[in-house]
C-alpha cells in the first residue's frame, strides 16, 4: 500500500498578514473621512496668555486656602452672597499643587451651600 504524502499545513502567518492588511485599509479609509483644515487658517496660540482667573471664580491654593479676587473667602459664605442666577454655575480654579481631597471637599461644600453646578477650570495641555 502506498503511503500518501503528508499535506503541508496552512501557514499561520498568512492569517496575521491578512488581518494587518485589513487594518491598514480600514485606517486609510477612516483617516480620509475628516476634511483637512483650510490652508490659510491660523489657530489661536495660548502659550502667551496671561493666566488671570475669571472674575467670579474661586481659587483653590496648594495649602487649602480658597480665595476670590485675591481675598480669602469661605465657600459657604460666598454662595450665600450670590443671587439665584449666579448660583447656577460656580467656577473653581485649583492650583496644580492643590490636593485632590481639598478640591473634592470644596466641591462638596459648594454644592451643600446651594451651588447648582461646580465647574473646574483647567488649562489645556500644549501639543
Q: Is 32 contained in some domain?
A: no
Query: Would 77 be classed as within a structural domain?
Result: yes
8 Å CB contact between 112 and 80: no
Given pLDDT bands bounded at 50, 70 and 90, which one contains residue 124? low
Q: Is the Cβ–Cβ distance between 80 and 113 less than 8 Å?
A: yes
**Which secondary structure element, helix H or strand E, spans residue 92, and what is its range?**
strand 90-94
Count of structural domains within the chain: 1
> Considering the domain boundaries, does residue 127 fall inside one?
no
Neighbouring C-alpha atoms within 13 Å toward the C-beta of 88: 3
pTM exceeding the 0.75 threshold for the entire prediction: no
In a domain, residue 81? The reply is: yes
All three cell numbers of 22: 485589513
Task: Give the model confidence (pLDDT) of 51-110 as tens digits.
Answer: 665 667 888 888 888 888 778 888 888 888 877 776 678 888 888 888 889 989 998 998
93 inside domain: yes
69: containing domain: 58-120
Domain-embedded: residue 11: no
pLDDT digits (tens, 9 = 90+) for 11-57: 778 888 999 999 999 888 777 665 666 676 666 565 655 566 566 78
User: Which pLDDT value is given to residue 126?
Assistant: 56
Amino acid at each position: 500500500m502506498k503511503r500518501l504524502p503528508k499535506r503541508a499545513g496552512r501557514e499561520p502567518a498568512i492569517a496575521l498578514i491578512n488581518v494587518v492588511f485589513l487594518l491598514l485599509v480600514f485606517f486609510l479609509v477612516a483617516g480620509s473621512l475628516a476634511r483637512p483644515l483650510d490652508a490659510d487658517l491660523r489657530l489661536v496660540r495660548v502659550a502667551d496668555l496671561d493666566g488671570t482667573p475669571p472674575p467670579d471664580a474661586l481659587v483653590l491654593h496648594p495649602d487649602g486656602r480658597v480665595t476670590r479676587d485675591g481675598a480669602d473667602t469661605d465657600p459657604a459664605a460666598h454662595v450665600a452672597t450670590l443671587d439665584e442666577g449666579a448660583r447656577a454655575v460656580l467656577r473653581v480654579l485649583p492650583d496644580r499643587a492643590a490636593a485632590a481631597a481639598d478640591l473634592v471637599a470644596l466641591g462638596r461644600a459648594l454644592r451643600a451651600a446651594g451651588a447648582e453646578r461646580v465647574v473646574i477650570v483647567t488649562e489645556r495641555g500644549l501639543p
